[in-house]
Amino acid sequence: MSQRPDLRQRRAVLEHEWSRWVPRLSVPGARPGGSAALRHEVTESWARSLGSVDPGRDSAPVTDGGPVHQRWTSSPLHRPVSGLAGELHSIAEDAGFVTAVTDESGTILWTCGGPAMRRKAEQVNFAPGGRWDEQAMGTNALSLALRTGRPSSVFSAEHLVSALHGWVCYCAPVHGPDGRVLGVLDLSTTWDRSHPLAMSTVRTLVSTIEARLATEQPRPAGVRLTCLGAEKAVREGRPLPLRPRQLEILTLLALEPDGFSPERLRAALYGDRPVTASTFKAEISHLRRALDGGIAARRYALTVPVSCDAAGVLRALERGDTDTALRLYRGPLLPRSEAPGIEEWRTRLEVAVREAVLASTRPEHALRYGEQAPYDAEIHAHALRLLGPGDTRRAIAAGRLTTAVRD
């Protein structure tokens, strides 16, 4: 069996592609204001991408979640971006750009631009519903900005996918008041329309969006729930005073947005234990008060936005984004809980993440998951199989495997 090319070979492939395009570009040095030298972040991204993305693909895949209109209207970016829509349309149409906004996964939720440029963009599915994360579309400015948390531009043949070699993209991540990346704002156009002020324009627009996010008062305010390896709910920067049972309820409602009948939620919390209806209703009432009435009455479901790390893991796995799933998965779901519904979800999450790691061909996934699963010999053996003979990380995997087998 032939081995996958190492980073040096992949860099050579990129250098060949880049040199093929440089003579065809009229911009000095192929990259405005610079030379044709390859940037480290681009070659590293190519190395990560080549295992999952065919450079010959003709367009971005469509998100598994279907139409994204509802995701856009419920996004925290919807209101501040809508407030700038006139300016964004003007910039895009006057300068010949397409403007796009993604969510934190790299899925495009909204675009604007002139008809001709939008038609060009739609040919590569640079449109609502298109997935532009690195695992789906390889090296591009959106995926780099999401991965690094910094503004990024990708020019012509720096893109992994050859269908994008006629494009240049400038984008920057949008951070919420808590520092979390909510998505990216991107300005894209054909390479012959590239402009030295495009990046500064993107930075200014993102600063305006972030300022609006910091000053607006959401109604109702959202909750950030951490339930993987920890037990914490925060609202407007302040911890919510919730007892363990109320955290269990909040977690279950966050994981099942369609809600629960009273009977099913009670069984998920207590199982066969003899608990009075008044005790159960008191827990619901306390949580409802803490959320300013954010739980529907007849069928228990959340009516306020809740950002949940466990739900984020599930969304990442659904779109095949093992990187994000492992970044969010910091331990078992509510590790101290013995509620039957939580135990069931805990097992489902553990199995789903583990299977994604075993299906991955990237050794860093097995190494990262192995930190949390010191006694999982299969995971450590999988890491060893993926690591090349000269990779110094083999020592880590081998040591973990020895410990797991011995114990």
Residue 271 Rama label (left phi>0; alpha psi -120 to 50; beta): left
Specify the pLDDT at position 22.
43
**Separation between Cα atoms, residue 378 and residue 277, nearest integer Å:** 45
pLDDT tens series, the chain, 407 aa: 333 445 455 555 555 555 554 444 333 334 444 445 678 889 999 988 888 899 999 999 998 766 788 889 888 999 999 989 989 998 888 889 999 999 999 999 999 998 999 999 999 999 999 999 999 999 999 999 999 889 999 999 899 999 999 999 999 999 988 788 999 999 999 988 888 889 999 999 999 999 999 887 555 567 999 999 999 999 888 899 999 999 999 999 999 988 999 999 999 999 999 899 999 999 999 999 999 888 988 889 998 889 999 999 999 898 888 989 999 999 999 999 999 999 999 999 999 999 999 999 999 999 999 999 999 999 999 999 999 888 999 999 999 999 999 87
Sign of the CA dihedral running 254, 348, 260, 69 = positive
Sign of the CA dihedral running 106, 360, 316, 379 = negative
The DSSP code sequence of 314-334 is HHHHHTT-HHHHHHH--SSBS
Are the beta carbons of 102 and 171 closer than 8 angstroms? no
β pairing state of 167-175 and 223-226: unpaired
**Exposed/middle/buried for 407, CB within 10 Å: 0-12, 13-18, 19+?**
exposed
Are the beta carbons of 359 and 373 closer than 8 angstroms? no
Specify the pLDDT at position 197.
87
Are the beta carbons of 316 and 146 closer than 8 angstroms? no
- This prediction has a pTM of 0.53
Torsion of the alpha carbons at 27, 33, 36 and 41, rounded to the nearest 10: -130
Give the full edge-to-edge strand order of the sheet including 238-239: 238-239, 232-235, 223-226, 306-308
**Separation between Cα atoms, residue 144 and residue 133, nearest integer Å:** 8
Specify the pLDDT at position 383.
95
